Structure 1
Amino acid sequence: MIKLLKNLKPFALSVVIILILAFFQSMADLNLPNLMSDIINNGILKVNAKGASNPDIPYIWSTGGKMLLVSAASITCAIIGSLIASKTTLGLTRNLRKKLFTRIESYSLNEFDKIGSASLITRTTNDITQVQNVVIMMLRMLITAPMMCIGGVILALRKDQALSIIFLVAIPVLIIVIVLIGGGVVPLFKLMQKKVDKINLVLREGLTGIRVIRAFDRQEVEKKRFDEANADYTNTAIKANKIMAGMMPLMMLVMNLTSISIIWFGAKRIDLGEMKVGDMMAFTQYAMQIMMSVLMVAVMFVLIPRAQASAVRINEVLDMKPEINDPKNPMKSSEGEKGYVEFRNVSFNYPGAEEPAISNISFKARPGETTAIIGGTGSGKSTLISLIPRFYDASEGSIIVDGVDIKEMSQEDLRAKIGFVPQKAILFSGTIESNIKFGNDNASLDDIKHAAQVAQASEFISGMKDGFNSPISEGGNNVSGGQKQRLSIARALIRRPEIYIFDDSFSALDFKTDAKLRAALNKETSNSTVIIVAQRVSTVMNADRIIVLDEGKVVGIGTHKELLNSCEIYHEIVASQLSEEELA
C-alpha cells in the first residue's frame, strides 16, 4: 500500500493543502466546546450578588456569533478539503489504471497466461476501486482524526485532570474491541478479492462462450456455475459484514458508557464546587471527539487490509517484468534488405512443458515468394509463426529479419514490418472502416476500399445498409466467421508491410472465395514475403516453398510436386484431401 501511495508525489501540493485545511478544521471543531462552556458559565449561569442567576444576553449573542463563525470556518474547510481529496484520489487512481494498462500491454503471451485475463480485469477495476476508497478516506479522515484526538486530550486535561482518568479505561477498551473485530474480518477481506476473480472468470467465459453454451443447451449448468461462484463470494462478504456490523454497536456502547461516567463523576465534582457545569459539558464534547477520532482511525485500520490485499495484487502486475524487452541499443535493418526472414536452428519450449513445441527449425523466406507451413494438429505451426513478431522468444537459435536478429531490434520496428492475420479473427467494436483502418491510421478511404476489394470483402460490405460505416459489435459477433477473416486480411493489407503472416486465415472461406482471394493476394503481395499456415492443400500447393511439420520438427521442405515424392507425411495429408484423379 505504501508503495502505491508513492504515486501521490505529483499531488504533493494538494496533500499539503489538505493537511492545512484539516488543521484549521480541527482547531475550529476543538474550539466550539470551549465557546459553549463560556456561554454556559459566563452567560447563562452567571450569578449576581444575591445569588440569583442573571443571564448576560449581550455576552451570549457575542459568543454565539463567534461559535457560528467558527462553525462556518469548519464547514468551509471540510468542504474544500473533501473536494481536493476527491480530485487527488481520482487523479491517483487514473494514473494507476494507466500504469496497469501500459504494463499489461507490454506483457508477452506468457505473462498473460500466468495471471489470466479475468484476474487482470479485476485488478484494473475492482482492486483499484478498493485502493481508491481507502485513499480518499485517509485524506479526509486519517489526517483529521489524530489532530482531533491529540487536541481533545490536551483540552480535556486542561479542563479537568481528575476526570480525564476515565479515558484510561475507555480508550483501551475501545482499542481491544477494534483489534478483536479487525483480526476476524481482515482475512475475509483478503479472501473476497479472490472470490471476485472467480466471479469475473465465470462471467467472462459465460459471455464470450454464449453461442457454445446455447448450442449444447448448457444454460442451466452455466447458471448454476455462476450461482455457486456468486454465492461463495456473497457468503464470505456476509460473514465479513456481520463481524463489521458488531463494531458500531460496541463502539456506541463504549462511547455512551463514557458519557454516563463523565456526567456521573462530573456531577459529583460540580456538587463539591470543583467543576463548573459548562466545563463538564465541554469535557463531554471533548470525550466524544476523542472517541470518534479513535473510531475513525479504527475503521480505517480495518478497511486498510482489504485495500492492502488489492494493493499487493496491483503491485504484482506492476512489478512483473516482461520477459520480452527491447535492447538498450536497438539495431536498424539495412535499407537494401526488406522482407527477408530466416530461422536458424530455432527451438521453443512453453513454460512448464516437458517437450519442446518446435525443435531445430531452419528455413529462409524471401520477398516475392510464398512460404507455406502445413502439418497435423499440434505440430507447432502457429507456435512457429508466433515467434516472428516476438509474441514469444525462441528458447534456442535465432530468427533473422532483414539481416538483423529480432532480439536486437525494437519490437515497434519489428512489428511495423509485419502484417499479421491471426488464426482466430478478432474485430473490435466500432465500424468496418475503423476495423480496417486499425492496420494504418493514416489510410485514406480509397486505400480502405482497395484493401477490402483484395480481401474479397467489398461484396458483403456493399450489401450492408451503411457500407463501410456499418457497425461492428464487440468481438465482431454480428458478422460471420468468413467475413471476420476477410476483414482481418484487409486490416493486414492496408498496412502494406514487408512480411505477411497468415495463420490459417482462410479456413472459414469457401473454395471459390479462397481461390479468388489467393489470386488477388498474389498480385498485391508480389514484392513482399508471404508466410501462410494452412490446413488445406489447395491453399498451399502453389507456394514457392512448403514446410511440412510433424511433432515440432521439419520433415520436409520443397514444392508441392517435390514433397509428393519425397515426404510421406505430406503425401498422406494430400491423399486425405484430394481424390486419386486430383492427386495424379
Structure 2
Amino acid sequence: NKTGDLMARATNDLRAMRRLTGFGLMQAFTTVVMFAFALHFMLQISVPLTLLSLAPLPFVIIVMYSFIGKIHKLFNFIQEQFSTLTAKAQENFSGIRVIKSYVREDWEIDAFKKENVEYINRNISLAQVDAFLDATLDFLLGLSAIAVIWYGGRLVIHGKLSLGELVALFSYIAMLAWPMAAIGYLINMWQKAFAAAQRILNIMSQPADIADTAITDHSIAHLDGAIEFDHVTFRYPDAPRPALQDITFSVQQGQTIAVVGATGAGKSTLIHLLPRLIEANAGSIRIGGYDIRTIPLQVLRGHIGIVQQESFLFSDTLAGNIAFGVADADKDIISNAVEISQLKLDIDQFPDGLDTIIGERGITLSGGQKQRASISRAVIRKPTLLILDDALSAVDTYTEEEILNQIRPVMQECTTIIVAHRISTIRDADIILVLDNGKIIERGTHEELVQRRGTYHKMFERQRLEEHFKQLD
C-alpha cells in the first residue's frame, strides 16, 4: 500500500466511522425516542389516521433497501479515489526536487487535476443519488400528509374527530416526520461508515510479515555478538533468482566483518536478515548462540544498531533524532555520540545547536551530515551488533578516516558488520566477504584477498588507480 493510501484510510475513512459512532448513534437514539413518543399519543387520538400516516413506511424501507448497495458502492469508489489523490499529492511533495529538476511541474499539475476531477465526479454521482433518495422520501411523506389531511377532514366533518384532536394529531405527525426521514439519513450514514470500516479492516486484518511465534523463547533477554549463517538462502517474491544463495560464515563476538560486492550482489539483503526485517527462505541464522527466530523481536532489534544505506531522519530536533529509541539519553551522552560521528563541527554552526529542527526527512542537512547523524543514533544505543550499510559513502575520505578512528573503541565492544564500496573503509576488518550474484565468492583478510589476485584484488587496484588520478588532478 502506498503511504498516501494509508493516510487516507487513517483520516478520511476514520472520519466516516466517527460520524456514525458519534452523531449517528445520537440521532438514532433520538429518532427511536421521538418515534415511540409520537406514535403513543397518535394512537390514542385516532388509530386509522395513525396507520394512514405510517403507510409510507414500507415504501421507505423498500426504497432504502434498493439504494443501500448503490450508496455503499459509490462511497467505496469515492474513498478509493481519495486514496489515489492523497497518494499522488504525497508522492509529489516527497519528490518535489526531482519534479523541478526535470521540469515536470506542469505535467504533474495536469495529472493531479485529472485525479481531482475524477474525485469530484464520483462525489457528484453520490450527491445525485443522495438527492434523489431525499426527494423520494419527501414525496412519500408528502403523500402521507395529503392523505391524512383528506381523511382527517372527513372525520371532522362527520363528527368522528374534533378539530382540536386533528390539530394535535398533525403536531405529532410533524414530530414523526423527522424520524421517518432520518431513517434514510442514518442508513446513508451507516453505508458510508460500513464501506470505510471495510477499507480500514482490510489493512488492520493483515498479519504482520514477521512477528513473534510459538517458537519464540521469551526467556531470552541478553545476547552476545557471535553470528553464524548456516546455508542461508533468500529470494524476493517474484524474483527470477535468489538474492542470497547458500550463505555460510561465522563471526566471533567483537570481530568486524566487511561485505563488499557489485551493486545487486546481495549485500543489503544479507544485513536485513539479521534484525529480521526480512525472513530467510532456507537455512538458519544464529546470534549469541540462539536461532534468531526464537529470539523475541524486541530483544533482537534492541541489541542491534543499524545505519541504513539511505539515512532517514524525522522532522524533529537533531538531538531528538540522535536519541531516538533511547529513553534516558541526556545531553552528555548525545554529545559523545556526536563526537564519534564527527558531527560536532557542523552542529556548532547550527543556530540552535543540537536543538535545531532539521525538517522533514532531515531536508536541511547534507547527505554526509545525515549519514553522520544516523551513525550517532546507532552508536548511542551501545549495541551488541553494529551494522553500517554503506554508511560512509556520502563523506570524503578524510572524514571517513576520522569517523573510523573515533568509532573503533565502540567497534571493539561489539560485533560490527560493514557494507561498503570503498576498500579504505573495510581494509582493517577481521573478515571480508566478497559477494557476487548472491554467493560468497571470496573470503579472508584484506592482505589474503589481495594476494589471491581475484575479484577483491581487482576492486582494490581499480580504486587505488582512481585515488592516484584524483591526486594528480
TM-score of the superposed pair, with normalisation by structure 1: 0.76
Query: For the residues of structure 2 that align with 1:316 and 1:580, how far apart are their CA atoms?
Result: 53
1:240 pairs, out of 112, 126, 147, with 126
Unpaired segments ≥5 residues, structure 1: 1-114
1:330 pairs, out of 210, 213, 217, with 217
User: Aligned to 2:250, what secondary structure does the other structure show?
Assistant: strand
2:315 pairs, out of 409, 422, 429, with 429
Whether the 8 Å CA contact 1:346–1:362 is kept in 2: the answer is: yes
Aligned to 1:155: 41
How do 1:386-405 and structure 2 match up within 5 A? 386-405=272-291
User: Aligned to 2:47, what secondary structure does the other structure show?
Assistant: coil
Whether the 8 Å CA contact 2:3–2:90 is kept in 1: the answer is: no
Whether the 8 Å CA contact 1:372–1:543 is kept in 2: the answer is: yes
Q: Provide closer, same or farther for how the CA distance between residues 159 and 271 of structure 1 changes in structure 2, counting only shifts above 3 A.
A: same
Unpaired segments ≥5 residues, structure 2: none
Q: CA deviation at 1:356?
A: 1.8
Aligned to 1:470: 356
Whether the 8 Å CA contact 2:53–2:148 is kept in 1: the answer is: no
The one-character-per-residue Cα deviations of 1:401-451 (angstroms, maximum 9, x if unpaired) are: 111111111111111211111111111122111111114221221221111
1:313 pairs, out of 191, 199, 206, with 199
- The more displaced of 485-494 and 245-254 is 245-254
- The more displaced of 350-359 and 178-187 is 178-187
The one-character-per-residue Cα deviations of 1:180-204 (angstroms, maximum 9, x if unpaired) are: 4444333111111111111121111
- The more displaced of 566-575 and 279-288 is 566-575
Aligned to 1:101: none
Q: CA deviation at 1:499?
A: 1.0
Opposite residue 330 of structure 1, the aligned amino acid is D
Query: For the residues of structure 2 that align with 1:403 and 1:186, how far apart are their CA atoms?
Result: 54
Query: For the residues of structure 1 that align with 2:27 and 2:234, how far apart are their CA atoms?
Result: 54
Aligned to 1:552: 438
How do 1:163-242 and structure 2 match up within 5 A? 163-167=49-53, 169-242=55-128
Give % identity.
Answer: 33
Whether the 8 Å CA contact 1:439–1:492 is kept in 2: the answer is: no
Q: CA deviation at 1:503?
A: 0.9
Q: CA deviation at 1:334?
A: 8.8
Whether the 8 Å CA contact 1:190–1:305 is kept in 2: the answer is: no
- The more displaced of 434-443 and 403-412 is 434-443
- The more displaced of 284-293 and 523-532 is 284-293
Query: For the residues of structure 2 that align with 1:571 and 1:227, how far apart are their CA atoms?
Result: 55
Opposite residue 201 of structure 2, the aligned amino acid is N
The one-character-per-residue Cα deviations of 1:194-221 (angstroms, maximum 9, x if unpaired) are: 1111112111111111111111111112
The one-character-per-residue Cα deviations of 1:317-368 (angstroms, maximum 9, x if unpaired) are: 3222213222455255597x72111111111122333422211111122233
Structure 1 vs Structure 2 CA RMSD:
2.2
The one-character-per-residue Cα deviations of 1:440-471 (angstroms, maximum 9, x if unpaired) are: 22122122111101101001001112111111
Query: For the residues of structure 1 that align with 2:8 and 2:462, how far apart are their CA atoms?
Result: 47
The one-character-per-residue Cα deviations of 1:208-235 (angstroms, maximum 9, x if unpaired) are: 1111111111111211221122111111
The one-character-per-residue Cα deviations of 1:4-62 (angstroms, maximum 9, x if unpaired) are: xxxxxxxxxxxxxxxxxxxxxxxxxxxxxxxxxxxxxxxxxxxxxxxxxxxxxxxxxxx
Query: For the residues of structure 2 that align with 1:439 and 1:186, how far apart are their CA atoms?
Result: 43
Query: For the residues of structure 2 that align with 1:280 and 1:190, how far apart are their CA atoms?
Result: 46
Query: For the residues of structure 1 that align with 2:190 and 2:120, how far apart are their CA atoms?
Result: 20
Query: For the residues of structure 2 that align with 1:220 and 1:442, how far apart are their CA atoms?
Result: 49
Aligned to 1:143: 29
Q: Provide closer, same or farther for how the CA distance between residues 334 and 119 of structure 1 changes in structure 2, counting only shifts above 3 A.
A: closer
The one-character-per-residue Cα deviations of 1:274-307 (angstroms, maximum 9, x if unpaired) are: 0011211222233333332122122111222221
